[in-house]
């Protein structure tokens, strides 16, 4: 299987590359622009493998994408390249529209040209997997779950840009017959995640004795999915997903933000006990600090993954207690990876403080 992965130097994309090459024996071409959140150090496990290759390119560059498709001739595309941080979309929505909407259009159009060239027999096995988010559905009340038929109601520029991309993917299936499969996943966590996100930011700040920022009252709820489980779902979408279908991918792990922070602190308390200035034992929980909420912060997301379970046989294998333990342990063991980011492109500053609220 020859798989073209966009955004393969990012958090989820690099996990896809490592898993697909290392465990599934796929041949992978990773196409990534190498923006601030990309990190080729996350791919060292596969760099020397003859089945893996990297090409630096912008998915919005039509000529480059056409060249990539011609030269690599993929059996499947896993389209993960996206601007994905809500706070950054509040400060600068333009790049989100460019990458997430225009970039997805260019990828779909390049794939359409490939399928047209290769013919009907090729189209039956080819898949374009468009990887999206549960944020396109907006905010849930205290009960219920997002399903594949939930109406779209994006509440941030990031979510709106992903919703636009989802609609383009749907249109390319219905108009052109492109074998598109769309997945909408819940919050991913795990090793190699860029430290602007909640869990790695909390871990790294705690280790330095800095405040662990929690937005608002800490009661916003998300469904948390271990990244490797998500990658396994994407493999099934690429091999067995029905063209034109969407699949919600969730972890059955609803947690409030404050519960996530507590879980991180409790693992740190076990693995690297902290002492106060007097030398007495001290919990990392003391570093949790509530800060002003982000604009338009959705209250609750929750995914119903029944469809992908029943149709493709996927279920998350990693319980949250196991996943958060693995995640914290990884960051403790890879401080150099983290330090290079903190000293370079991101110093863990607060983002998303827009003038639009004033």
Closest to 101 in 3D by CA, of 178, 163, 177: 163
The question of whether 135 is a catalytic residue gets the answer yes
- Report DSSP letters for 224-282, one per residue: EEEHHHHHHHHHHHHHHPPTT-EEEE--S-EEEHHHHHHHHHHHHHHHS-EE-TTS-EE
The question of whether 134 is a catalytic residue gets the answer yes
Q: Which residue among 52, 83, 109, 158 is the active-site one? A: 158
What strands lie across the sheet with 187-189, from one edge to the other? 187-189, 221-226, 254-256
DSSP designation for 303: B
Q: Which two tokens stand for residue 8?
A: 């393969």
Q: Which residue among 58, 109, 135, 166 is the active-site one? A: 135
Strands 2-6 and 76-79, sheet pairing: parallel
How far is residue 204's CA from residue 191's CA, in Å, rounded to a whole number? Answer: 13
Strands 221-226 and 254-256, sheet pairing: antiparallel
The question of whether 73 is a catalytic residue gets the answer no
Q: Which residue among 32, 109, 134, 223 is the active-site one? A: 134
Active site residues per annotation: 134-135, 158
């Amino acid at each position: 299987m020859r798989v073209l992965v966009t955004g393969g130097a990012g958090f989820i994309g690099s996990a896809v590359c490592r898993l697909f090459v290392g465990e599934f024996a796929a041949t992978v071409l990773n196409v990534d622009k190498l923006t601030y959140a990309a990190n080729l150090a996350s791919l060292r496990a596969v760099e020397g493998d003859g089945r893996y290759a990297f090409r630096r390119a912008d998915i919005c560059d039509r000529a480059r994408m056409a060249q990539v498709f011609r030269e690599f001739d993929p059996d499947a595309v896993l389209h993960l390249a996206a601007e994905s941080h809500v706070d950054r979309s509040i400060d600068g929505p333009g790049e989100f529209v460019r990458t997430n909407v225009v970039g997805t259009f260019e990828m779909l159009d390049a794939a359409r040209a490939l399928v047209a060239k290769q013919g009907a027999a090729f189209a039956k096995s080819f898949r374009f997997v468009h990887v999206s988010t549960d944020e396109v559905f907006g905010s849930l009340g205290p009960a219920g779950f997002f399903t594949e038929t939930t109406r779209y109601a994006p509440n941030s520029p990031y979510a709106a840009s992903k919703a636009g991309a989802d609609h383009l993917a749907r249109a390319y299936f219905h108009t052109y017959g492109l074998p598109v499969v769309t997945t909408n996943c819940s919050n991913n966590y795990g090793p190699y995640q860029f430290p602007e996100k909640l869990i790695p930011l909390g871990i790294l700040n705690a280790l330095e004795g800095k405040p662990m920022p929690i937005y608002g009252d800490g009661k916003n709820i998300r469904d948390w999915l271990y990244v490797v489980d998500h990658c396994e779902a994407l493999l099934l979408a690429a091999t067995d997903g029905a063209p034109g279908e969407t699949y919600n991918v969730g972890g059955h792990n609803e947690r409030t933000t404050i519960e996530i922070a507590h879980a991180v602190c409790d693992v740190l308390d076990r693995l690297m006990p902290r002492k106060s200035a007097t030398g007495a034992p001290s919990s990392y929980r003391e570093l949790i600090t509530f800060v002003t909420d982000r604009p338009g912060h959705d209250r609750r997301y929750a995914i119903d993954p029944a469809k992908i379970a029943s149709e493709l046989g996927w279920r998350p294998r990693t319980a949250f207690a196991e996943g958060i333990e693995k995640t914290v342990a990884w960051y403790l063991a890879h401080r150099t990876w983290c330090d290079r980011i903190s000293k370079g492109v991101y110093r863990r500053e607060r983002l998303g403080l827009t003038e639009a609220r004033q």
